[in-house]
Structure 1
Amino acid sequence: MNIGCIVRLERNPDIEKEMKNLAGLGLHSCQVVSWDRKFFNAEKNAKRVKDAAESLGITITAFWCGWEGPAFWNFTEGPITLGLVPEAYRMERLQTLKEGSYFAKDLGVSDLITHVGFLPENRRDPLYAGTLAALKDLMKVCEANRQYFLFETGQETPITLMRMIQDIGSDYLGINLDPANLLLYGKANPVDAVDIFGKKIRGVHGKDGLYPTCPGELGRETKIGDGRVDYPVFLKKLFQLGYQGDITIEREISGEEQIRDILFAKQYLSDLIGNLE
């Protein structure tokens, strides 16, 4: 398992600088993230990102595609604003994800990732059926681009996500397992989730956090090692599963503390992975 980090490219970014910052941390793998539709639709941006990465020996493992419209990361407004589940935003966001698929193709990566939203547990819920239809439509584009679509975990229980994957019925589906998100949303123990997701895991985020304690708010993200993800057991499970992908560090703060925590996570994960191999 290699260790990488998220690289966010939003609103006219200095692409070359962002890639150099990553390499400066001693990391040479990343998931590119953008919520700026104009950025990933702009001519030549994919080539610029690809060229910058190649010049520094950086491997781009996936494109994490954001979408427009309101987004509230909580348990009240979240279910009615996030992802493809809310009918009011579904079709526009579906089109954005299709555009993201073509951007990922131009980047030369095989995996497209996003948060789909709070998937209903009940198959008979109209929101479930509508989301299913939208995802089947998206998969026509992803399959034509020979590309996997990965669900970012967290906003649904693992078995609900596996049910959706089964109902879509495409071989080009997978999971980007964010263990912290499963805790932050109170949906599962990440170690147990590995057993449920199994071979569908194609990407993993290196992130940590705590279960929610306030009924309306998510749990709190923490530095790796300070949360409830049992990383020694979690990584051992992935290793035994035969997972060969990267662990992509994500620390959703900014400034010097973010850099310190990323470097800490790099060493922490390196030590654990070294004991497995």
Structure 2
Amino acid sequence: MAMNIGVITHLANEGDCFAKMSDFGLNVCQLMCWDVSMATREIAENTVRHAGAAGVTISAFWGGLPQPQVWDFKEGPLTLGIVPVKYREERMKVLKKWADFAGWIGTRALVTHCGFIPENLTDPEYDGVVEAIREIASYCERLGIEFWLETGQETPVVLLRTIERVGMSNVGINLDPANLIMYGKGNPVDALDVIGKHVREVHIKDGMYPSNGDELGREVPVGQGKAHFPELIRRLREIGMDGNLIIEREIWGEQQTRDIQAAIAQLKGWLQ
């Protein structure tokens, strides 16, 4: 099965959010939302209707978590994902609501960042994180969907170890090569040697390695960073990954549109 090109689309307008897809000439998206108040049956039904009218397939749903969220190395471990005990219970409830929404719209998986999962498996907090991921994955399994961990705050071997210990077949990885680079956690091409068999979908996003020990590296337009997409796509094909390639550009406005269009053109060339 060929890898399809898609784009991140933000849930908005009560589910009427797919008009721009036709501007890009794409019919696959990963739907994203950070506002859990939108996780209702009514909005889900509207979303399905509008996606159908636009001829769009929603490949997965990316569920954001409540504040605080600090995307750096200083406060990130204390605020991101379901790792911080202080926020875990509330955020697990939010993820279950997003899982319900993902099930209602008939998509394949719920995706999120789990946070800075401890590198040391003997860390006293590690088992609790594993149990939390297993609980969310079990909830998703009952709904007939998968739970994908997006790369970012963890090294590839931590993701592998955690998936092994969770021990559920519906847990996979949403590979964001830029995140591996921007967090200094690994080379995405080499990471496939460790986690490749668990990769279900890929974000097409590019970035640079950190230049200091406190801040993430910069996101840059696709093809201008360290992701080396031609080689990454070659390796993805070698390992048999046939999931979608979802373009993500975390800026706003006309420049975002131009960068996404440029990424589409480059991807078409790399996939030939």
TM-score for the superposition, normalised by structure 1? 0.95
Gaps of 5+ in 2: none
- Pick one of 140, 143, 146 that aligns with 2:144: 146
Offset of residue 131 of structure 1 = 1.0
Offset of residue 25 of structure 1 = 1.4
Contact 2:202 2:246 survives alignment (8 Å): yes
Offset of residue 124 of structure 1 = 1.8
The farther-off stretch of 119-128 and 88-97 is 119-128
Q: Separation in 1 of the partners of 2:216 and 2:122? A: 27
Offset of residue 15 of structure 1 = 3.3
Asked whether 1:239 is paired with 2:241, we answer no
Contact 1:177 1:201 survives alignment (8 Å): yes
The corresponding residue for 1:8 is: 10
Asked whether 1:222 is paired with 2:228, we answer no
SS at match of 2:18: helix
Aligned residues: 270
SS at match of 1:270: helix
List per-residue Cα deviations over 1:160-215 (Å, max 9, x = no partner).
Answer: 11100001010111000000000000000000011211221101000000000021
Q: Separation in 2 of the partners of 1:15 and 1:98? A: 19
Q: Separation in 1 of the partners of 2:101 and 2:15? A: 15
List per-residue Cα deviations over 1:74-111 (Å, max 9, x = no partner).
Answer: 00000000000000000110111111111000010121
SS at match of 1:21: helix
Contact 1:113 1:151 survives alignment (8 Å): yes
1:1-277 counterparts in 2 under 5 A?
A: 1-9=3-11, 13=13, 15-16=15-16, 18-40=17-39, 42-274=40-272
SS at match of 2:58: strand
SS at match of 1:126: coil
Contact 1:86 1:127 survives alignment (8 Å): no
Which 4+ runs in 1 deviate beyond 6 A? none
Percent same amino acid at aligned positions? 44
State the one-letter code of the partner of 2:221.
K
Q: Separation in 2 of the partners of 1:64 and 1:246? A: 14
Gaps of 5+ in 1: none
Q: Separation in 1 of the partners of 2:52 and 2:173? A: 26
Offset of residue 126 of structure 1 = 2.1
Q: Separation in 1 of the partners of 2:244 and 2:87? A: 32
Q: Separation in 2 of the partners of 1:43 and 1:236? A: 40
SS at match of 2:125: helix
Offset of residue 43 of structure 1 = 3.4
Contact 1:69 1:89 survives alignment (8 Å): no
Q: Separation in 2 of the partners of 1:151 and 1:87? A: 18
List per-residue Cα deviations over 1:10-60 (Å, max 9, x = no partner).
Answer: 5xx3632x30112221111100001101011x3311111111111111110
Q: Separation in 1 of the partners of 2:105 and 2:193? A: 32
State the one-letter code of the partner of 1:21.
K
CA RMSD of aligned residues (A): 1.0
Contact 2:15 2:44 survives alignment (8 Å): no
Q: Separation in 2 of the partners of 1:248 and 1:162? A: 22
Q: Separation in 2 of the partners of 1:164 and 1:264? A: 36
Contact 2:173 2:200 survives alignment (8 Å): yes
Contact 2:182 2:217 survives alignment (8 Å): yes
State the one-letter code of the partner of 1:183.
I
Q: Separation in 1 of the partners of 2:41 and 2:227? A: 41
Q: Separation in 2 of the partners of 1:100 and 1:28? A: 23
Q: Separation in 2 of the partners of 1:93 and 1:240? A: 37
TM-score for the superposition, normalised by structure 2? 0.97
SS at match of 2:271: helix
